[in-house]
């Protein structure tokens, strides 16, 4: 495993623990709006924690009664989201990084004719330049890590970022290990609200929470 930092919110009980409990609970999952709001809330909290790692400068600000020295962020932030499950999670980040640029990547599983094997395809991307910027790549579920890696590789067509932050709600241990082997060492930090022990034969996280996209927006037909 290379030099990539892992931040796991589950190691310290907090409000994130409450939102995670509700996201996982099948008796609460029948409320899509509540599910989306909880993804948004975790996104806001994670954005705040990531903001502590960014660069700032001091600026002199005029107030009605004098002057105050205030910190202003100097990083150029790009929020990149894997569609579609990433949208409510992304919105939480955008609530805090309100001046950030945004990128969107469509990555999905295409299952083969027989069995549980699938390819991950990237069919669409809309992104600004990420050259020398701080890239926050957002996807609530990291099952195998393949979608995240392919999304990152697609974004490299827009430049090379100075820093990379991977943001997820639940990651499998396999996905963490895979991303630590495939993403750039020294500039990457992985943030997650929980690391679950396994994935099943369909590559869904166990115990996980199910399909975050379906729970947010309704079921879809399989490709």
pLDDT at 111 over 70: no
Q: Which residue has the higher pLDDT, 193 or 147?
A: 193
Q: pLDDT value at position 97?
A: 98
pLDDT at 107 over 90: no
Tens-digit pLDDT profile for residues 135-178? 999 999 999 998 899 899 999 999 999 999 999 999 999 999 99
Q: pLDDT value at position 203?
A: 84
| 218 confidence band (pLDDT: 50, 70, 90) | confident
- Distance from C-alpha of 174 to C-alpha of 196, rounded to nearest angstrom: 9
Strand partners, 24: none
- Phi, psi (deg, nearest 5) at residue 213: -65, -45
pLDDT at 86 over 80: yes
Q: What is the mean pLDDT of residues 52-58?
A: 97
SS (H, E, C) 49-73: HHHCCCCEEEEEEEECCEEEEEEEE
Q: Which residues of 179-196 are buried (b: 16+ CB within 10 A; e: fewer)?
A: bbebbeeebbbbbbbbbb
Q: pLDDT value at position 4?
A: 94
Q: What is the mean pLDDT of residues 13-38?
A: 96
pLDDT at 108 over 80: no
pLDDT at 112 over 70: no
- Distance from C-alpha of 100 to C-alpha of 138, rounded to nearest angstrom: 13
| 120 confidence band (pLDDT: 50, 70, 90) | low
| 70 confidence band (pLDDT: 50, 70, 90) | very high
- Average pLDDT of the chain? 92
* pLDDT > 90 in the chain, percent: 80
> 19: closest CA among 97, 88, 100, 98?
88
- Distance from C-alpha of 70 to C-alpha of 3, rounded to nearest angstrom: 33
Q: What is the mean pLDDT of residues 58-86?
A: 95
- Phi, psi (deg, nearest 5) at residue 96: -95, -45
pLDDT at 121 over 70: no
Q: pLDDT value at position 220?
A: 74
pTM for this model (two decimals):
0.91
What structural domains and CATH numbers belong to the chain? Answer: 5-217 (3.40.50.2020)
């Amino acid at each position: 495993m290379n030099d990539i930092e892992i931040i796991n919110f589950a190691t310290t009980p907090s409000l994130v623990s409450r939102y995670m409990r509700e996201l996982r609970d099948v008796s609460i999952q029948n409320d899509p709006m509540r599910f989306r709001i909880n993804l948004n809330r975790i996104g806001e909290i994670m954005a705040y924690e990531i903001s502590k790692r960014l660069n700032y400068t001091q600026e002199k600000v005029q107030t009605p009664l004098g002057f105050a020295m205030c910190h202003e962020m100097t990083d150029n932030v790009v929020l990149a989201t894997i569609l579609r499950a990433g949208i409510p999670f992304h919105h939480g980040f955008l609530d805090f990084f309100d001046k950030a640029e945004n990128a969107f990547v469509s990555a999905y599983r295409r299952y083969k004719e027989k069995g549980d094997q699938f390819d991950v395809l990237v069919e669409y991307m809309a992104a600004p330049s990420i050259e020398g910027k701080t890239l926050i790549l957002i996807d609530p579920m990291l099952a195998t890590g393949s979608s995240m890696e392919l999304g990152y590789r697609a974004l490299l067509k827009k430049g090379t970022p100075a820093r990379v932050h991977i943001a997820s709600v639940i990651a499998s241990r396999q996905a963490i290990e895979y991303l630590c082997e495939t993403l750039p060492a020294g500039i990457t930090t992985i943030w997650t609200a929980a690391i679950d022990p396994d994935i099943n034969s369909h590559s869904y996280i166990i115990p996980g929470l199910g399909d975050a996209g379906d729970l947010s927006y309704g079921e879809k037909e399989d490709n």
